[in-house]
Amino acid sequence: MKIKLYYIFSILVLFISNTYAQQPDNDIPFNQQLPNKIERRYGNDLIKDKKMATDYALLIFKSVYKNVDFDNLESIEIREIAENKVWDIKAVRLALPNSNKYFYYNIRINKNTGEVLNIWKDV
């Protein structure tokens, strides 16, 4: 009986330590972290410029958030991050007409492959 408890306890300790070992050291939520390595498969980037990145992001937003109207946005912010390998795009829209509450739709796209690295919504 003691041996079984020892094994169960050992497995539990390994599981817990492994779970905490995977937690990031910084305050960035897991769904907003970039992968350790940004893939580069093609000689030229598929998402070459800000216009293409914005159009691609809006297409993905409309697919993921089907009940949201992305035609009347307050603003779209776009920048390059991760040594200019990733487009970081934030679409800002009012929660309701004539309100002061905003929703922020965020997406990060690998410039070279077009892969969506992160997508999330902030209030």
Whole-number pLDDT of residue 16: 53
Class (C level, CATH) for 44-123: alpha beta
pLDDT in tens, 58-77: 999 999 999 888 888 889 99
Side chain identity at residue 17, one-letter code: S
Cα 112 to Cα 58, 97, 102, distances in angstroms: 18, 37, 31
Q: Look up residue 37 and give its two tokens.
A: 């390595």
Q: Look up residue 95 and give its two tokens.
A: 């929660």
State the Cα–Cα distance between residues 22 and 24, nearest whole angstrom: 6
pTM given for the model = 0.73
Is the pLDDT higher at 13 or at 63?
63
State the Cα–Cα distance between residues 62 and 69, nearest whole angstrom: 8
